[in-house]
Amino acid sequence: MLTQFNESASYIQSRTKVKPTVGIILGTGLGGLVKEIEVIDEINYTDIPHFPVSTVQSHSGKLIFGNLGGKQVVAMQGRFHFYEGYDMKQVTFPVRVMKLLGIKRLFVSNASGGVNPDYEVGEIMIQNDHINLFPAHPLIGKNFDDLGPRFPDMSQPYDHKMIELAKTIAAENNIRVAVGTYAGLTGPTLETPAEYSYVRAIGADAVGMSTVPEVIVARHMSIPCFAISIITDLGVPGKIQEVSVQDVIDVANRQEPKMTLIMRELISRI
């Protein structure tokens, strides 16, 4: 695996002169942040050795290199999910490669279902913790000692300073944000009412099918993380409705400008 990480990173470095310090992973319906990037280079996933290929609607499947908020960045326009049939090593492969490219911080976005009864559709939630409910763990197997310890600490999965700064940016721009815990499940089914109730009972405010594996691997490598969710549907008793993927994308698209503003300003100020 280390050889594959290095081969991917070497190929990417041969295709761009950008030396990113910030990595960005864009979720379902949230690829618009790319429009804010002064794009210098684009590389299709299919061209990168050992890279998986995104199969999900609304995920473009490109690495974008450029400038955002005065920083050099690499953005994944399309991520990989466990439910696509990839194992956890593949799902998190790009995070390993981004570390080798030089990133110092990771920013992640996602669309999720809200289980906190105070949330409404379109709510923006900054993640301050997560619950890992995936049946597989990205760090199982041989540890890469050169990248991180066998037993990494997870007492601060999401960076407290970035969370506080993001809340300040939201307040300055009159954007309502919540702060809460995200539960990661496999999908691809959306949750049943009983599953929503279970997720709420164990302490989550939102539930989704991504983010947790990438953050675990980033923290294994001591990369500070910031994650933000758009609540695209509700798993609250009395508010549960039938939802399609297009419904999720539509809500994400409507709220994306607010999330983009927060992410752009946060990257600029760190």
- Token pair of 75 as six digits: 């953005």
What proportion of the chain, given as a percentage, has pLDDT over 70? 98
Per-residue pLDDT of 24-35, as tens digits, reads: 999 877 778 888
Query: CB atoms < 10 A from the CB of 49, how many?
Result: 11
Distance between CA atoms of 52 and 86, rounded to whole angstroms? Answer: 8
Q: At what angle do helices 93-101 and 212-220 cross, to 10 degrees?
A: 40
List the single range of 129-143, 175-189, 250-264 with lowest mean pLDDT: 250-264
The model's pLDDT over 74-127, given as tens digits with 9 standing for 90+, comes to: 999 889 999 999 999 999 999 999 999 999 999 999 999 999 999 999 999 999
Assess whether pLDDT exceeds 60 at residue 58: no
> How does residue 60 score in pLDDT terms, banded at 50, 70 and 90?
low
- The pTM score is 0.95
Q: Are 158 and 215 in contact (CB under 8 A)?
A: yes
Phi, psi of 76 (to 5 degrees): -85, 110
Q: What's the mean pLDDT in 31-49?
A: 92
Q: Which of 59-73, 76-90, 216-230 has the highest mean pLDDT?
A: 216-230
Q: 261 pLDDT band (50/70/90 cuts)?
A: very high
57: left (phi over 0), alpha (psi -120 to 50) or beta: beta
Q: How far apart are CA 94 and CA 11, in angstroms?
A: 13
Nearest C-alpha neighbor of 62 from the set 26, 89, 13? 26
Average pLDDT for residues 174-179, to the nearest whole number?
97
Query: Average pLDDT of 50-79?
Result: 86
- Domains, the chain, in order of start with CATH, read 2-269 (3.40.50.1580)
pLDDT of residue 101: 98
What's the pLDDT score for residue 61?
87
Per residue in 121-172, pLDDT tens? 999 999 999 999 999 999 999 999 999 999 999 999 999 999 999 999 999 9
User: What average pLDDT score do residues 224-246 get?
Assistant: 93
The two structure tokens encoding residue 136: 């597989």
Euclidean distance between CA atoms 126 and 115, whole angstroms? 15
